[in-house]
């Protein structure tokens, strides 16, 4: 009778969460996994259409939870291995490649932009002779952001198929004054990472996509991590992505071309494996990992999103409520929001993918971020 009841609980869990039976059995018997499900449901309760979360404990066990639906029309369940656009979480991949090149003595963090891209960052107060590779990856370059983006359903329809090159995006940014003198401030700069990608390609003679694939994706067996290029669709399985533009105005924005020419699609499983390998020393030599984790304070506006946050090279350091800290890099673009966390030894990790962005107000955006942060921090404190 007890065994029958346990089997029924596993079957019910699998039906509700969309997990396979093996993963569902872990969820049914593990208190940490039960807490994970509650935290996942709490995100969905805010109005997020679908949530999938994956946690790896220090003993290597995995717990997976999903909540909500993958499609508001069909009401199909959220896939536990669904693909999604990871947006700025990709910056950790790019920074890791740059630091591998540093470890190979092919470039230096103190090299200037001008050395590798002569004349590319010039004019309107910009001078590549005074901007270093370190500053690009640390968001201390002063390079301004002027990115494409939509703020209404109408703009989404108008812009969803637009294709942008790095050169076009850099030209847009250089039309604005420097945010500050290089090294004299901190401001989140997608433009800085676009320039860093151009440097990687100049140093190696190969595309950033090739370098990330050969150095990270293939060695780690990240089979769900792909480059969408100019495709507006996602590989299956995936939840559909939604954007809340205004109260009651939740719009399906799944089909679109990312503004970022280096955008990546991945899964919680692959991101979990990547971050654990990165912090666990599987991708970088100790000297380069030490450089990656040397941090500076973030700006006051970004500190609202990452309280107490400090930025390294493509990584963010956050405090844990149970003591100590963790490393992460979140991302959000086009209806998909990713929040991550990994302990400094790389043994414990948590990844959350949300297939709706509550962008109708700063308050709702922060509520979504806080709920995802709680899931990550609870998991890391207990895993």
The residues assigned a catalytic role are 88
Beta strands in 195-275 (DSSP E): 242-244, 250-252, 265-266
The residue with tokens 């999604």 is 84
Q: How far is Cα 74 from Cα 55, in angstroms, rounded to an integer?
A: 28
Beta strands in 194-323 (DSSP E): 242-244, 250-252, 265-266, 296-297, 310-311, 316-319
Cα–Cα separations (whole angstroms), residue 259 to 82, 116, 337: 22, 25, 15
Residue 127: exposed, middle, or buried by beta-carbon count in 10 A (0-12, 13-18, 19+)? middle
Nearest to 265 by CA among 334, 198, 325, 327: 334
Beta strands in the chain (DSSP E): 50-56, 62-68, 84-85, 122-123, 126-127, 242-244, 250-252, 265-266, 296-297, 310-311, 316-319, 325-328, 331-333, 336-342, 349-354, 356-358
């Amino acid at each position: 009778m007890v065994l029958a009841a346990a089997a029924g609980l596993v079957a019910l869990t699998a039906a509700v969460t969309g997990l396979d039976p093996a993963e569902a059995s872990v969820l049914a018997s593990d208190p940490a996994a039960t807490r994970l499900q509650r935290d996942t449901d709490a995100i969905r309760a805010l109005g997020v259409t679908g949530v999938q979360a994956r946690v790896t404990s220090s003993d290597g066990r995995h717990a997976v939870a999903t909540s909500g639906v993958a499609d508001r029309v069909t009401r199909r369940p959220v896939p536990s291995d669904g693909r999604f656009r990871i947006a700025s979480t990709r910056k950790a991949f790019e920074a890791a490649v740059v630091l591998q090149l540093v470890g190979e003595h092919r470039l230096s963090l103190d090299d200037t932009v001008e050395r590798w891209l002569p004349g590319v960052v010039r004019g309107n107060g910009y001078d590549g002779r005074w901007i270093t590779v370190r500053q690009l990856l640390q968001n201390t370059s002063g390079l301004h952001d002027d990115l494409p983006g939509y703020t209404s359903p109408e703009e989404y329809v108008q812009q969803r198929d637009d294709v942008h090159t790095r050169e076009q995006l850099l030209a847009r940014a250089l039309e604005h004054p420097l945010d500050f003198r290089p090294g004299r401030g901190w401001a989140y700069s997608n433009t800085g990472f676009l320039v860093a990608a151009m440097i990687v390609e100049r140093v190696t003679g190969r595309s950033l996509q090739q370098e990330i694939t050969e150095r990270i994706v293939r060695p780690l067996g990240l089979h769900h991590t792909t480059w969408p290029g100019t495709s507006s669709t996602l590989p299956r399985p995936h939840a559909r992505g939604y954007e809340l533009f205004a109260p009651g105005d939740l719009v399906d924005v799944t089909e679109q071309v990312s503004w970022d020419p280096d955008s990546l699609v991945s899964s919680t499983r692959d991101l979990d494996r990547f971050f654990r390998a990165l912090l666990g020393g599987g991708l970088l030599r100790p000297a380069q990992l030490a450089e990656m984790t040397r941090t500076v304070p973030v700006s006051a506006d970004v500190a609202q999103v990452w309280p107490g946050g400090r930025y390294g090279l493509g990584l963010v350091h956050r405090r844990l409520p149970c003591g100590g800290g963790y490393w992460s890099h979140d991302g959000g673009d086009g209806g998909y929001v990713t929040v991550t966390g990994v302990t400094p030894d790389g043994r414990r990790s948590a990844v959350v993918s949300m297939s709706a962005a509550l962008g109708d107000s700063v308050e709702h955006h922060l509520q979504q971020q806080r709920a995802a942060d709680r899931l990550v921090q609870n998991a890391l404190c207990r895993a």
